[in-house]
Amino acid sequence: MIYIKTPEEIKKMSKAGKLLAEVLEKVKQRVEPGVTTQELNNIAEELILKSGSKPAFLGYNDFPATLCTSVNEVVVHQIPSNYKLKNGDILSLDIGLIHEGYYSDMATTVPVGDIPLETARLLRATKKSLNIAIKKVRPGNTVGDIGNVIERYLSKRGFGIVKELCGHGIGKNLHEDPEVLNFGKRRKGDELKEGMVICIEPMATMGSNKIKKAPDGYGLKTIDNSLSAHFEHMIAVTSSGSRILTE
């Protein structure tokens, strides 16, 4: 069932999204060679609690951390550890919080020190595919329109698209209907309506788009160990188009 949010609910979700964006920005500033992913998790948790919010991921489906810190070939959901980031790594940071009963959720992938040009191209393309997809968010369009533009943009640039994971609706629950796939056909799937709030989150790879469990038992990694990138925003559908709530 798809929940249509009232203007008051979207106002609360916007506040949750702004708080989350501020937390993630501060965490990003601490990313550098030598820092452990557990240190980043501790920073994120402290900042969320200080904002008067609760971590959305901690305890969700038994996830043991506040922050997903997915390194290199791990696409999503890697748990923080004593791993020290190295120059040339890429790190996907996926984070959520609950504020006044409403969830917010977002993700970004950042370079650690200097990264190869082709790796930088992966990050730029994945982020660009998200921005293009957001422009498709308006009443009357469909989730298929969103997935189609992501698929076409990334495929033309030679990147794999992870099809076993997807975006989602969000509100009083972290995951709500509809599913927002990163591939699809125009005019297909659920229709976007004013008041819907969705998370769009393209995940791209430099090789195979197939994934499997990572060694930590929580993360999901590319089957061929190729690098992957992940970007996500929480978007409200308004009468005039899209409104990014996580910035």
68-111 pLDDT tens trace: 999 999 999 999 999 999 999 999 999 999 999 999 999 999 99
Cα–Cα nearest to 84, from 34, 44, 27, 43:
34
Q: Which domains does the chain have, with CATH numbers?
A: 7-244 (3.90.230.10)
Pairing of strands 220-222, 74-76: antiparallel
61 DSSP 8-state letter: G
Model confidence at 3, pLDDT cuts 50, 70, 90, reads very high
Model confidence at 200, pLDDT cuts 50, 70, 90, reads very high
Cα–Cα nearest to 130, from 2, 236, 235, 4:
235
Q: What are the tokens at 8?
A: 């008051």
Pairing of strands 102-111, 90-99: antiparallel
Backbone angles phi, psi at 213, to 5 degrees: -60, 140
- Please answer whether residues 62 and 88 qualify as being in contact, where contact means their C-beta atoms are separated by less than 8 angstroms: no
What percent of the chain lies above the pLDDT cut of 90? 100
Task: Round to whole Å and give the CA distance between 240 and 21.
Answer: 23
- CA within 13 Å, CB half, 231: 17
Q: What angle do CA 144, 90, 199 make, to 5 degrees?
A: 25
Model confidence at 51, pLDDT cuts 50, 70, 90, reads very high
Query: How many DSSP H helices and E strands does the chain contain?
Result: 4, 15
Mean pLDDT in residue range 60-74 = 97
Task: Round to whole Å and give the CA distance between 41 and 39.
Answer: 5
Task: Round to whole Å and give the CA distance between 28 and 40.
Answer: 9
Tell me the pLDDT tens digit for each residue of 156-191. 999 999 999 999 999 999 999 999 999 999 999 999
Model confidence at 192, pLDDT cuts 50, 70, 90, reads very high
Cα–Cα nearest to 175, from 15, 22, 26, 57:
57
Instruction: Give the per-residue pLDDT at 71.
Output: 98
Instruction: Give the per-residue pLDDT at 201.
Output: 98
- Please answer whether residues 204 and 159 qualify as being in contact, where contact means their C-beta atoms are separated by less than 8 angstroms: yes
Q: What angle do CA 152, 230, 246 make, to 5 degrees?
A: 105
Instruction: Give the per-residue pLDDT at 227.
Output: 98
Model confidence at 238, pLDDT cuts 50, 70, 90, reads very high
- Please answer whether residues 210 and 156 qualify as being in contact, where contact means their C-beta atoms are separated by less than 8 angstroms: no
Instruction: Give the per-residue pLDDT at 132.
Output: 98
36 DSSP 8-state letter: B
Tell me the pLDDT tens digit for each residue of 109-160. 999 999 999 999 999 999 999 999 999 999 999 999 999 999 999 999 999 9
Instruction: Give the per-residue pLDDT at 158.
Output: 97
Task: Give the residue ranges of DSSP H helices in the chain.
Answer: 7-28, 37-50, 117-134, 143-156
Tell whether pTM > 0.95.
yes
At 18, which amino acid appears? K
Residue entry with tokens 């971590």: 55
Instruction: Give the per-residue pLDDT at 30.
Output: 98
